[in-house]
Amino acid sequence: MSTSHLLLPEYDAEIVVTRTVLERVPDDKGAWKPHEKSFPMAHLAQLVARLPGWVSMVTDKSELDIAPKDGPKYPGYSIETTATLLAEFDKNAREGREAIARTTDAQFDEPWSFKIGGNTMYTQPRYQALRSMVLNHLVHHRAQLGLYLRLIDATVPKMYGPTADEPW
């Protein structure tokens, strides 16, 4: 079985759960944050909505420089409605799935580099970059968003098991 065939069921499951979490983000709490050092809720939700779009950055390119010395910068964050975030997420999730499906085992073995300002932070096979920079990263920030939801007393959906709001 190919790597993409192994990854797709996991990707699909994480996408379903992540969309459910994003659906719970209230429009009127975009600027809210649990601590002065924390992202505002809308920025965290926007990051979660964008992360599936990183799949093609890993599968289709040999590197990502998030702060190139010359050239376009990665877009900043804004406060958007939940509907806008869900539309962005759906588009990114669909494109991410297509990117995984078309990536061959040989391509998953090719090196991929993460850079900041032209400096290579690390290089690893595309498969490992996809796991760490996209899937694990998505789960990490989705969990943060779940905590934000709990702290504002919004309904926290099931992720890997029941929550106080959604039992088995």
Domain annotation for the chain: domains and CATH numbers: 3-151 (1.20.120.450)
- In the predicted structure, residue 67 carries a pLDDT above the cut 90: no
CB atoms within 10 A of CB 152: 14
Mean pLDDT for the chain?
A: 95
Measured distance CA(10)–CA(17) in Å, rounded: 11
Residue-wise pLDDT tens digits, 14-59: 999 999 999 999 999 999 999 999 999 999 999 999 999 999 999 9
According to DSSP, residue 2 is labeled: -
- According to DSSP, the residues that pair with 112 across neighbouring strands are 124
According to DSSP, residue 113 is labeled: E
CA 90, 116, 97 angle in degrees (round to 5)? 20
46-65 b/e (C-beta count within 10 Å ≥ 16 → b): bbbbbbbbbbbbbbeeeebb
